[in-house]
Amino acid sequence: MKNILTSYDPGTGERIGEVKISTPDQIRKKVTLAHGAAPAWRNLGLNGRLALLEKAWAGAEPHIPELAELISREMGKDIQRSSGEASGSVHGGSYIAKEAWDALQSKSVGGRTTIEYKPLGVAAVISPWNYPLAMANNLIVPALMAGNPVVFKPSEETPLVADLFVEILNRVLPQHVLQVVHGTAEQGRALVEDRVNLIAFTGSQAVGKEIMARAASQVKRLVMELGGNDPMIVLSDADIGSAAGFAVASAFENAGQMCTSTERIYVDEQIADQFEAQVTAIASRYKTGPWNMQGVNIGPIVNKKQHAMIIHHIRDAETKGARVLLGGSDQTAPYIQPTVIADMTPDMTMEQDETFGPVVAIGKFKTVDEAVERANDSPYGLGAVVFGQKQAQAVAEQLEAGMIGINQGVGGGGNAPWVGAKQSGFGFHGSPDGHRQFAQVRVISS
């Protein structure tokens, strides 16, 4: 059996480094060690855990440049975006921990009843490659604050930055409170089926369904975000320039490899020509290239499989009558040049499935009801956006998504949750209510 996982730069194919793949026995041992560390971690209480988490994440601050470069080299995003992710993850750790500390305080209700938030046990955290620190951070911190030791499996595409991050944090954290295992789907299944009490996962819908099935026999707690195929509706009275700028920025962010990327755009036919022209003009200014090239907006696609899937989506649209306004299917890995597709129809793969690449896909509608129907005709329901004036609020109320933006992107502000509807989510994280999902609610009456 292959026992080494090699990490490659997706832009150059250069070997960056390697980690050992965790064997079933090693995974079992780490889960056992996590259970052994659980009583002491629990007994520290919220105050003790908060102090250690703040110290651990503060200790990572000098390593932000190193973490940022590893993100760029492993998954391809430009160094400016990687620096933002590394900095946000390091500084955000303390913020999330404080927010969770507040959310998990016991509270009295009804005079003689107390609601407490206690540890669940051992948490398995499985995170994706597109935001390898940010997505992991959003799950690891509330799990630890709730008193659950964590066994963390990062994506096989980004093992090195995960390894470094955990190594830095473990200079402060107690032994076995945060451990990492490496591998592919096989190791993920082994971790899910081991003696973990909570599984926190961000990734694909297909893997999420498999996790649910494997967790069912023991009714393990689940917190899962399962991607999206986010629609955008552009009404006839929208600010076309703002809508076009947002559409391109959202579709191209992180080379389109973002769960809340705008994937499907429905524009009123009265303004479609103007919208398409502005989108194409804006998109044509974007530049592809490696992470360390000046002025790059779009980095390489993470691997050949993902690149081939994006090309398949574009080619499918072309063969079914779409107009290619920019880019197209004749592209060679590892890059996808900025691509704009018009006349998207419901039978096209890119309307049905998540493309996850730098593609703006535009369809027209005659009536608002038609636009809403197409936007909602999906098993996904993570985010949705509407641009317009008079009817924008009414349209937003009809959209089936966990997060909806009106003349802006999704995600909310302050301590709003990160939440999906339909098959885009099971549970959610972020916000006081999200943090409490990492804890066992206990009601004591006397």
User: Measured between alpha carbons, how far is 143 from 140 in angstroms, rounded to an integer?
Assistant: 5
Distance CA(93)–CA(410), nearest Å, equals: 22
Bridge partners, residue 109, by sequence? 113
Is 259 assigned a catalytic role? Answer: yes
- Strands ordered across the beta sheet of 230-234: 323-326, 339-342, 359-365, 262-268, 230-234, 383-387, 403-406
The verdict on whether 18 is a catalytic residue reads no
- Comparing CA positions, the residue from 354, 385, 353 lying closest to residue 372 is 385
Q: Of the residues 85, 157, 225, 354, which is catalytic?
A: 225
Task: Report the C-alpha gap between 426 and 90 in whole angstroms.
Answer: 26
Cβ contacts of 14 within 8 Å, gap of 6 or more? 8
Catalytic entry in 157, 259, 263, 351: 259
CA distance 317 to 286: 22
Residue positions annotated with a catalytic role: 225, 259
